Amino acid sequence: MRIKTIVALLVGLVLASVHPAEAQQAGKVARIGYLTTQATALDSGRRQAIRRALQVFGYTEGQNILMEYRSGEGKPDRVPALAAELVNLKVDVILVAGGYGVVLAAKNATKTIPIVMVGGGTDPVEAGLIDSLARPGGNITGYINISGYLGGKRLELFKDAFSKLSRCRHPLRG
């Protein structure tokens, strides 16, 4: 499954859990806040991919969702004010594209609006953004690229799964 599809699925699930009864009502427009430090021109591909992925799950911008885009335009110091602006707009969910600083700005702006993070390479547990990968706690969830941090855990799971395996035969050599 592609990353953008995973993000769209997460946003869709969050929207459905935030407004379960309202999701059935015709005319209810969910508001998604999108927060990034990246310049708008450089981020257009990601935005388009997220729109397409949301459409797969029945969400169409301007029909049943409204996207509130906020970009620091490459200036991280602008992000806390932009996060506060999204909170004041009463968005249903904040989609954060970027690393630790952007997620932290959203986390500091709200304790109640769900935050879906995507991207970055910071370990969110080590950074203090979430309690654990299995149970993030609070209002933050999402997909983040920390594959380097997970190498040891993958090896541990592999060893547990194949603990009785002493020798692996190559499928083509017999």
DSSP string across 98-109: SSHHHHHHHHHH
The arithmetic mean of pLDDT across residues 50-62, rounded, is 85
The arithmetic mean of pLDDT across residues 101-120, rounded, is 89
Geometric angle at alpha carbon 32, from 31 and 35, rounded to 5°: 140
Sketch out the chain's domains with CATH numbers.
3-148 (3.40.50.2300)
pTM above 0.85, yes or no: no
Tokens of residue 135, six digits: 């149970």
pLDDT greater at residue 143 or residue 21:
143
Give pairs for 53-57: CB < 8 Å, separation 24+: 53/2, 53/4, 53/5, 53/7, 53/8, 53/9, 54/8, 54/11, 54/12, 56/5, 56/8, 57/8, 57/9, 57/12
